Amino acid sequence: MERASDDGARERRLEEALKESEERFRRLVEAAKDYAIFMVDAHGGVTTWNEGAQRDFGYEEEEILGENGSSLFTPEDRSSGAPERELKKAQTEGRAEAERWHVRKDGSRFWASDFVRPIRNERGNLLGLSKVARATSRSASGPSRCGCRGAGGRARASRPRPARLSAAGLPLCLGGGRGIPAHSQRG
């Protein structure tokens, strides 16, 4: 009889420790306000959403949960299959990274770097995928002055002009009104 009560007390302590651990983790994710952190299921449905994701993408948690995360990609990326490739690469290679345009609820775009990693249980079964994104621009502004890149990042026939610089002296845009950050260009 004494053994059963010891087992019950131990079980309660383990449950309490698990709840405390989950609460600490929730607070950690919520404190990362400079990062959009969320999870999707194996099919891309959004299952978690932090405050940083709300700020960057414009969706309240209750609006986006259950929706397909592909809605955060541009129409061009969706039509080319980028959301599916990202999930597949993360599942097969353990990580997918990108720098690309993302779309807010209001349709505006912002440039962000992100990575996606699979979340697996102790048996290795896929539970979902985590995505962490950091906006490197607040929005796609109107036509830029540099004019060296056009729609879709294609080089223009005209001679490229220098990229605009941020206050920190980092290149912001290679132009065409697309706000394509210079550091993302492959040359």
Lowest mean pLDDT among 31-40, 64-73, 92-101, 113-122: 31-40
Beta bridge partners of 36: 133
> Could you tell me the residue ranges of all domains in the chain?
32-135, 141-187
Architecture of domain 32-135: 2-Layer Sandwich (3.30)
pLDDT at position 11, please? 84
84 vs 168, residue with greater confidence: 84
For the full predicted model, state whether its pTM sits above 0.85: no
pLDDT at position 137, please? 74
Question: Would you say residue 6 has pLDDT above 90?
Answer: no
- Spatial neighbors of 82 by CB under 8 A, at least 6 apart, are 73, 98, 100
E strands, the chain, in order: 36-40, 46-49, 96-103, 109-120, 126-135, 164-165, 171-173
| 20-29, 125-134, 169-178: range with highest mean pLDDT | 125-134
The rounded mean pLDDT for the chain is: 76
pLDDT at position 181, please? 45
**DSSP string of 75-92?**
HHHHHTTHHHHHHHHHHH
